[in-house]
A and B are shown apart, each in its own frame.
Chain A
Amino acid sequence: MTKAITVSGLRKSFGSTHALDGLDLDVETGEVHGFLGPNGSGKSTTIRVLLGLLRADAGAAQMLGRDPWTDAVEVHRRIAYVPGDVTLWRNLSGGEVIDLYGRLRGGLAPRRRAELIERFELDPTKKGRTYSKGNRQKVALVAAFASDVDLLILDEPTSGLDPLMEEVFQRCVEEERDRGRTILLSSHILSEVEELCDRVSIIRKGRTVETGSLADLRHLTRTSVTAELAGPPNGLAHLPGVHDLDVRGRRVRLQVDTDQLDGVLRQLSESGVRSLTSTPPTLEELFLRHYQDEVAR
C-alpha cells in the first residue's frame, strides 16, 4: 500500500451547484501533498468527503485503503484533521480540548504535547471563548501534531497565525514528514506550499487541472532568462519555445519553455555570456496561469 489517499472522478452537488465535478487526487504515503485552488474550488468539500462528513454522489475515494464513508471510525483512528476555522467549546480550556482530541484519535504523546505547546507559545489554561482566531488554530494544530496518527489532513491550517508561528508550523510539518507521516495540506499560502510540499494538485471548479511534483509542474512552464552578452545576440527569435524576447544592445531578456532551455543556452553562449540569471517559475505564476485562464474563459 503506497497510496495514502486515492480519489477518482469524485462528484458532489449541493442543489444545483456542482462543488466537485470529477475530481482526482492521489497522495503517496509519506509525502507532503499540496492541495491548491481558489476559494470555492472544492478543496474543503473534497476534504469533508474524505472525512466521511459528506457522501459523494459519484466516484471513488479511499483513505488509508478504506472507504471514508463506511469505515469512517476505523479510518479516523489513524488520522488527525485541522479545519481552517476552529471553533472551541466556550467553557473548556485549550488543554482540555487538546487532550480530548488526542484521546479520541489514536492517543497523545505527552512529551510532544508539552513541547508543541511551548513552541507555539500557547496558553492551555485559557477558556475556549477567550482565544483569538490564531490561538484557536494553535489548539487544533497542537492536538493534531501531538496525536499518534499516520495521516494529517490540514485544511488551510495557518489562517490567523503570525509569521513566526507560520515558521513553527512549517518546521512541525517537516518533522512529521521525517517521521514518515503523510500530510495533505490545503493552502492559500503558495510560499508555504512551495517550501513544504513534495507534490501538489491544483484544482479549479471541482476538477483537478494539474498534479505532480513542483519540478514536473515547472517543466511545463516558462523560465525567465536575463543575460549580458559579449557580442550582439542572433538567431534567438527563431528558436522554438522562446517568448517575449527583448533585446537592448547586448542585454537580452526572454521567456522560454522550460524544456527548450537547452537550445537557448547554446545559442547565447555562441555570442559569449558575461552574466546570466535564470529564474524558475514560482508556484504563484503556475497558479495564476490556471486561474487567469479561468478568468479569460
Chain B
Amino acid sequence: MTTLATRAPRGSRQLAGTGTLLRFALRRDRVMIPVWIAVNALMVLSMPNTLKGLYGTTAERADLVRQMETNASFRALIGPVFDTSIGALTAWRVGIYAAALGAVMSLLIVVRHTRDEEESGRQELVASGTVGRRASLTAALLTAAAANAVLALLITAGLAGQGASGALSFGLGLAGVGMVFATMAAIAAQLTQSARLARGLTAAVLGAAFVLRAAGDSATDGGTSQAFGTGGGSSVLTWLSPLGWLENQRSFAGERWWVLLLFAAAVAVQAVVAYELAGRRDVGMSFLPTRPGPPTGRLGTAGALAWRLQRGGVLGWSVGFFLAGVVYGGLTDGAADLVRDNDKAREIFERMGGLSGLTDAFLASMVGMLGLIASLYVVASVLRLNGEETSGRAEPLLACAVGRLRWAAGHLVIAFGGSALIMLLAGLGFAVGYGKEIGPILGACLVQVPAVWVIGGAAVLLYGLAPRLAPASWGIAVAVLLIGWVGPALNAPRIMLDLSPFGHLPKLPGGGMEWPPVLILMGLAMMLVGGGLAGLRSRDMTT
C-alpha cells in the first residue's frame, strides 16, 4: 500500500499550485492573448457586414454559392458552402482561417508555458516549490481553454444576429479546434526538448489538417448538394481533419451538434496521452533524442552566424510565399469570373487592387495581401537582434572583434534582402499558377518591397533607439495588416488608409507604375534604418 501511495500521489497533490500557476500564466500573457483574440474576432465579426455589402440579395448569394459549388479549387481553399444565408456564408468564408488562427494561438500558449519553461530552466525552480507534478501542464491547458472560451463567447455573441444556434455552434467549433491543437501541442511538448521544435511539430500537424481537408473537399460535391442530400457526404479525408469537423458542423445550415463530440473525444484522448507522457519523464527530458552536433564549426563571421540563425525562417517563408503564389495564381481566372457578375464585389476588388480589368484587380489585391504578410517576416527578422541582445548572447559576441554595425548588418541584410526574396518567390509562384503576365506580376510583387522595408525600418529605429520598445514593432505590423485587410472592405476613411505605407503603392498590375511614392518609401526606409543604426552605435547595450 505504501509503495503504491508513494508511486502515485493523490490527484489533488499532483495538481497543487495549479491555481497560482494559472494566474501567473494569464498575467504573463495579458497582452498576447487579448491581441490574438481581438484580431481573430475582428476578422470573423466584420465578415457579415462585408458579405451584406457584396451580396445583398438572396439571389446574388445563391449565384455566388452556385459558382463556388462548381469550382474545386475554391472548395479546396475555403471549403464547401452549405447555405445562402449571411451566417452560413460567414462560417464558410472565415471558418477555416479563424480556426487555424485560434489553433496557432492555442499551440503557442501551451508550448510557452510547458516546454519553453523547461528549456529555459525556469521550470526547475517552479517545480521545486509546492507545485504538483501535473500542475504546469494543467495550468497551460487551462490558459488555452480560457482563451478559447473567450473567443467562442465573443464569436457567439457577435454572430447571434445571424441565428443564435448557428452562432453557438460556430463559436464552439472554433474553440474545439483550438483545444484540439492545444492538447496536440501538450503532446509535442513532451516529445522534444526544444520548444521551437514542439511548436514546429504542432504547426506541421495543423498544416496536414489543412491539406487533408482541402484534398477531401476538392474531391467531393459542393456543400449544398451535400446538405440537400443530392450529392455524397463529406470525404473521409475531410473527416480526418479537425478543420473538416468544423465545416461538417454545418453552422447556420441545420447544425449537426453531434460533431462537437469529435472535438471532445479528441481533446480528451490527447490530454490523457500528454499527461501519461508527462508522468513518465523527468523535468527537462524528452522522448525524442536530441541529435549531437558537429565537434568543430565552420562559422567564422557575424554574418555567417546571422544566416545560420535565420536560414530556417527564410526557407520557411520562401516556401510559403511561393506556394501562396501558386495557389492564388491558380485561382485567378475563376475569381475574376466570379466577381465579374457582382457589382459590389467588383467595386471592392477595384478599391483594393486598382481600376482596370478584374483579373488585374484580383491579382493586385492578392499580391498586396502577401506584401502585408511580408511585413510580419521583416519584423520577426529584425527583432532577432533584440532577441540576441536581451538573451545575453550578443554581449560575448560584441566582445570579439565584431563591431555593432557589422553584427547588426548581418541580420538586417537577411531581414531586408529576405523580404525582397520572398516577394520575388511569390511572383514566381504566380507565374507557375497563372502562367500569364509574368513580367507585370513580378513587378507588382517587387513594388510591395519598399513598403515592407518601411515597416522593417520602423522596427530597426525602435530597436536602435529604445530597445525596450522594440516589440512594439509587432503592433505596427499588425496595425498595417488590419488597415490593409479590413480597411477597404469597411470603406475606411482615406486618412486611415494613408497611415499605412502600403496605401501609397501604385496598384499593380493594371494601374500605371508611379515612381515617386516608391522612391519616397525607399528613402524613408533608409532613413529609419540609418536612424536606428546611429542609435544602436551610441547607446549602451542592455542585458
Contact = CB atoms under 8 A, between A and B. Distances in A.
B395 A53 contact: yes
B295 A105 contact: no
Interface string A77-109: 101011101111111111111111101111000
Given A96-B294, A124-B295, A130-B290, A76 B194 contact: no
Given A54-B540, A83-B396, A129-B193, A72 B294 contact: no
Main secondary structure of the interface of B (DSSP, over half): loop
A242 interface: no
Contact of A55 (B397, B400, B401, B538): B538
- From B196, B302, B401, name the one whose CB has the most chain A CB atoms within 10 angstroms: B401
B240 interface: no
- From B290, B397, B400, name the one whose CB has the most chain A CB atoms within 10 angstroms: B400
- From A72, A82, A85, name the one whose CB has the most chain B CB atoms within 10 angstroms: A72
A93 B300 contact: no
Contact of B393 (A53, A88, A126): A88
Interface in A39-87: 48, 51-55, 72-74, 76-77, 79, 81-83, 85-87
A219 B368 CA distance: 77
A83 B399 CA distance: 10
Interface in A244-283: none
Interface residues on B, range: 35 or more
Given A81-B396, A104-B300, A130-B193, A93 B401 contact: no
Contacts of B393: 87-89
Interface in B302-327: 302, 305, 308-309
Contact of B295 (A72, A76, A87, A125): A125
Contacts of B294: 93, 95-96, 125
Contacts of B290: 127, 130
A214 interface: no
Contacts of B193: 129-130
B348 to A, nearest CB: 45
Contacts of A88: 393
Contact of A51 (B196, B309, B391, B399): B399
Contacts of B295: 93, 95, 124-125
Contacts of A73: 401-403
A140 interface: yes
B49 interface: no
Contacts of B512: none
Interface in B75-120: 119
Nearest to A77: B401
Contact of B297 (A77, A99, A126): A99
B301 interface: yes
A76 B400 contact: yes
A130 B403 CA distance: 29
Given A89-B305, A103-B301, A125-B293, 15 more contacts: A48-B395, A48-B541, A55-B539, A76-B399, A76-B401, A76-B402, A91-B194, A94-B293, A95-B293, A96-B298, A104-B302, A104-B397, A104-B400, A130-B290, A153-B399
20 contacts: A48-B395, A51-B398, A54-B540, A55-B538, A55-B540, A72-B398, A72-B403, A73-B401, A73-B403, A76-B399, A81-B396, A82-B396, A83-B396, A87-B391, A87-B392, A89-B309, A103-B300, A103-B301, A106-B401, A130-B290
Interface of A: 48, 51-55, 72-74, 76-77, 79, 81-83, 85-101, 103-106, 124-127, 129-130, 140, 153
Interface of B: 119, 193-194, 196, 290-302, 305, 308-309, 391-393, 395-403, 538-541
